Amino acid sequence: MSYYVLGTIASFSFLASLIPFIPIAHGAVRVFDFGRLQLAILSIAAIIFVLAILPVNWISLIFLAMLSVALAIQAMYIARFTPLWAKQSARHHPDNTERSVISLFVCNVKQGNRKYQDLIKLINARDPDILILMETDQQWVDALDISLTEYAQNITCPQDNSYGMYLASSLDMPLVDIQFLLYE
């Protein structure tokens, strides 16, 4: 019985760690990009159980190999969010007024939501330097383009599949390029 349970957990952990490497944008594949910490904890627990319960034989060694690969893959992704990884940005010092500050407004509009004016009022009240909106379709772009004329640059990528993006900036953005990384 323990072989079946631990084998199922090892197989799931192994496959769930490898599936995100498939360059397909479908949610059934991309869902495995999430829950990395949970999958790492499951792999650690399963390794402990394999070592504690199963006798050392080729089957248990295969389970350990699968779980170790899964744990290593998850650890590579998790490590970037720990103090072990080098920082990419400078620390903010609120007492230093000589530093330049930009304001950023990021919002997931929920594509089915059509309350354009509520969002436009909020954007105008916050007056951000850079505006990033997600889940925008062509209706959102049309509604926003009319009202957000004070932004020097607008880069839009409306999509009907809830993956649309809207970027507006009052700052100069010299290199503008939209890439679909899963397909390029």
pLDDT in tens, 135-159: 999 999 999 888 888 888 888 999 9
CB-CB neighbours of 9 under 10 Å: 21
**pLDDT recorded at residue 68:** 97
Residues in contact with 151: Cβ distance below 8 Å, sequence separation at least 6, in sequence order: 131, 168, 169, 170
Residues in contact with 157: Cβ distance below 8 Å, sequence separation at least 6, in sequence order: 164, 165, 166, 178
Q: What is the pLDDT along the chain (184 residues), one digit of tens a residue?
A: 889 999 999 999 999 999 999 988 888 888 999 999 999 999 999 999 999 999 999 999 999 999 999 999 999 999 998 888 888 777 766 666 666 778 999 999 998 889 999 999 999 999 999 999 999 999 999 998 888 888 888 889 999 888 899 999 988 888 778 887 765 4
Q: What are the structure tokens assigned to 175, written together?
A: 């290199």
**pLDDT recorded at residue 67:** 97
Query: How far is residue 182's CA from residue 142's CA, in Å, rounded to a whole number?
Result: 27
**pLDDT recorded at residue 172:** 85
Query: How far is residue 75's CA from residue 41's CA, in Å, rounded to a whole number?
Result: 10
**pLDDT recorded at residue 1:** 83
Query: Which sign, positive or negative, has the C-alpha torsion 147, 149, 150, 153?
Result: positive
**pLDDT recorded at residue 183:** 54
Q: Which residues on adjacent β-strands are paired with residue 134? A: 108, 165
**pLDDT recorded at residue 96:** 63
